[in-house]
Structures are given as structure tokens and as C-alpha cells.
Amino acid sequence: MNNVWTDLAIEARDMYTKENKRELDGVIVDEEFEDDIKITTVTIESDEAGEELGKPKGNYITIDFPEITHYDGETMDKVSKVVDNVLVRLIDAPEEKTALVVGLGNWNVTPDALGPRVTEKIMVTRHLKQVMPDAIDDSVRPVCCISPGVLGITGIETGEVIKGLVERVKPDFVICIDALGSRKLERVNRTIQISDSGISPGAGVGNHRMKINEESLGVKVIAIGVPTVVHAATIANDTIDLVIDELSRQAKSGTEFYKMLSSMDRMEKNNLIREILNPSFGDLMVTPKEVDTVVESLSKVIANGINMAIQPNLDMEDINKFMN
């Protein structure tokens, strides 16, 4: 499982149950629906289960929603409200506590620009508490945010930047937003994962960086992510599976070619595909052509959810007035 790149705990769990024909001990799964939005909570209760899935123990809430278009305000508002509800449950902090919102990713690369795009839409109030105390009452939470860039731009580990900022600003909790990698193409841009276990930037595309979690920062870290890319090898792997299924209907099950294909397990096929693809394409990641408009829409959805969650005494109209 460690060779399959995915940031989503629900996918890691699904792959385990499919390969082992049983649920993993120490993992609890709960599903609920709000209209056409599916909310799945995967709770990893033990370090052993976390090691098996390649995820640290904690709560992973996955929000699956219909395809969003930039003009579908109703669906966007519904998803924002679900994000709000999930965050309120995970934050669990008094209103006077300070929040730090961090937009992870490279703002120059659209599929990786989700975090920076979200920070542009966050209601920032920490400085107003100091310079305009009469204009901001105690019902407004102090909030600050930053988009620290990536190692290739700054030459500094993102985790180091955030750690230094936390030590200086002393927030009570941190919310990190990042683009993720998925195992399934149908989840790309249609899933939001929220967890209380922190985040390892780049893990979903095989590029591990310093972990950003409560252990490294000393404060609660909530991670929000959307899968915006999928590895080309997984698409090829799924295509081969479809071909095998079609061959099973058309070819005789006793043919040598069919036996060879059907006897290969997923890991063997995945390794074979990567051996073929890597010399020509390297670690090719794939994203939909409309990713620019989708990332912009999803950044609004997530920013609205965060703003409502960390400012529970304000409604969306008040927040929009402040932002404008």
C-alpha cells in the first residue's frame, strides 16, 4: 500500500478492505448524508492501524459532493455549510482563541494553488483587534493567515516557516489547506478531506516534506485538502482492469493471455506500468483541463466554510461585508 500514492484515508481504507477481504482492526467508518452530499468519517484509533494504512491516527472526514460549476451557487453554499459543521466539531475552541490559517502549495501551479487561493478569501482580524479595538468587539475571533510558498520558491521548508510563525504569533490552533493526490480519477475536484491529524505536504504525489502536525508545532492542527491530481499510472492501471473485465466477457477464460492478465495483482500491474511510463514521462500527474475554474470555485467554498466556522457569531452576509 505504501507504493500507492493517495492522501485520502478513505481510499487507503478501501484498498485495504479490497485486498484483504476484511476491515482493519482499529479503524472505524461512519457514513451520513446531507441531501446529495456524502460525509464519511474514518477514525484511525491505533498506531498499528495507521501504519498499515500509511496515515497517522486521527479523524478523517471525507466530503463527497456533486460536480461543482462556478455558477452553481446553491451547491457551493451547501458544501460550505458542511465544511463549517465539520470544522466546528474539530476546532472545539472558545471564540477568543486565535486562529492561524495556512495556505500550502505553489501559487504558480494551478493544481497546487488551492491553499494560496483560499487564504486570499479569509476574514483576517488579528491586526484589527490591536489597531481598531473599538471597531471589533469580543465576538470576533482574532484570525491571521499566510501562504508561505514552497521549498522550490523560498528555499525554506514550509514546516519550518510555519513553526517559526507559530512560536512568534502563538495561535491556539492552525488550519492548513493544501491540494492533495487521489487514487481515483472520479474523486479529483469532487472531494474534500478534513482531518485533525495534521498534514505531510506532497505526500500524495510521492514528495514527502516536513510534517505539519500537533507534535511538530505544539498546537492543534486541522488539515483541509482537495485532490486535484491523480497519478498517470493509476489511470493506466484502472484501464487495464477494465480491459481484463471486458476480456473476461469476450475471451475464453482458459486462454493463456487471459490467465496471465487475471493472475497479476494490482501491485504487480502498478509496478509494471510505472516501469513502462517512467522512462518516457517520469512521475506524470494528471489534472482535468478545467482545473483553473474549479480551483477558484473550491477555494471560495472552503474559505466560506472556514470563515463561518471560526467566526460563529457572524453570518455570511456580515463576513462578505467585511471582505468587501
SS3 assignment for the chain: CCCCCCCCHHHHHHHHHHHHCCCCCCEEEEEEEECCEEEEEEEECCHHHHHHHCCCCEEEEEEECCCCCCCCHHHHHHHHHHHHHHHHHHHCCCCCCCEEEEECCCCCCHHHCHHHHHHCCCCCCHHHHHHCCCCCCCCCCCEEEECCCCHHHHCCCHHHHHHHHHHHHCCCEEEEEEEEEECCHHHCCCEEEEECCCECCCHHHCCCCCCECHHHHCCEEEEEEEEEEEEHHHHHHHHHHHHHHHHHHHCCCCCHHHHHHHHCCHHHHHHHHHHHHHHHHCCCEECCCCHHHHHHHHHHHHHHHHHHHHCCCCCHHHHHHHHC
151 residue type, one letter:
L
Q: Is the pLDDT of residue 160 over 50?
A: yes
Q: Is the pLDDT of residue 238 over 90?
A: no
What's the grid cell of residue 127?
491586526
Q: Is the pLDDT of residue 24 over 50?
A: yes
Q: Is the pLDDT of residue 25 over 50?
A: yes
Considering the chain, what is the average pLDDT of its residues? 85
What's the grid cell of residue 118?
483560499
| pLDDT for residue 225 | 96
pLDDT > 90: percent of the chain? 54
- Exposure b/e, 57-70, CB count within 10 A at least 16 = b: bbbbbbbbbeebee
Spell out the residues 6+ positions from residue 208 whose beta carbon is closer than 8 angstroms to its own: 200, 202
| pLDDT for residue 320 | 78
69 vs 223, more confident: 223
Cα 27 to Cα 10, 23, 57, 221: the distances in Å are 11, 8, 9, 21
Q: Is the pLDDT of residue 2 over 50?
A: no
pLDDT tens string 196-215: 999 976 554 555 668 899 99
Q: Is the pLDDT of residue 1 over 50?
A: no
| pLDDT for residue 230 | 86
**Across 65-84, average pLDDT:** 86
What's the grid cell of residue 213?
502536525
| pLDDT for residue 74 | 87
Q: Is the pLDDT of residue 252 over 70?
A: no
Does the CA dihedral 251-256-258-259 come out positive or negative? positive
Q: Is the pLDDT of residue 284 over 50?
A: yes
**Across 288-315, average pLDDT:** 92
State the pLDDT confidence band at 73, using cuts at 50, 70 and 90: confident
| pLDDT for residue 204 | 46
Q: Is the pLDDT of residue 177 over 70?
A: yes
- Report for 41-50, 70-79, 257-266, 273-282: range of highest mean pLDDT: 41-50
| pLDDT for residue 127 | 86
State the pLDDT confidence band at 249, using cuts at 50, 70 and 90: low
Beta bridge partners of 224: 177, 194
